Amino acid sequence: AQSVSQHNHHVILSEAASLELGCNYSYGGTVNLFWYVQYPGQHLQLLLKYFSGDPLVKGIKGFEAEFIKSKFSFNLRKPSVQWSDTAEYFCAVMKTGGYQKVTFGTGTKLQVIP
C-alpha cells in the first residue's frame, strides 16, 4: 500500500520568505502526485499535480513542485510567500490505473506573518 509522509507539521514564515515543504511517498509502482491546499474554513483545492512528463510542475498562485523519482519525493516550493498563503497543505499520491484512491499525508500548517 502507498503512504505519504510530510516532514513539517507547522511552518511559520514571514512574508516574502521562500517556502519549501517536504513530501516523500512510498510505493514501488507508477504514481500520480498532488498537492492540495485547504484555506481556513474552505475545502480542499488542487494546487498542482504530476501525472507524467516534465518533473517540475507549476501550479496556481506561484507554487511549483519537483518530482524526484529516485528520492520518492515531491517537494512544494514558492519563492516568496504572502500572508494569503496561510493554509494547510497536503501532499497526496495516487497509484496509476482505474478508480484509484488518493492517499494523503498528514498535512503541513503554514502560517505567514505579515
Which residues of this protein are in contact with another protein, per CB under 8 A? 32, 34, 36, 42-46, 49, 51, 90, 96-107
How far from 107 is each of 53, 82, 90, CA to CA, in Å? 26, 19, 4
Q: Residues 6 or more apart from 67 whose CB is under 8 A from it?
A: 33, 50, 55, 56, 57, 73, 74
Q: Residues 6 or more apart from 54 whose CB is under 8 A from it?
A: none
102 touches 94 (CB < 8 A): yes
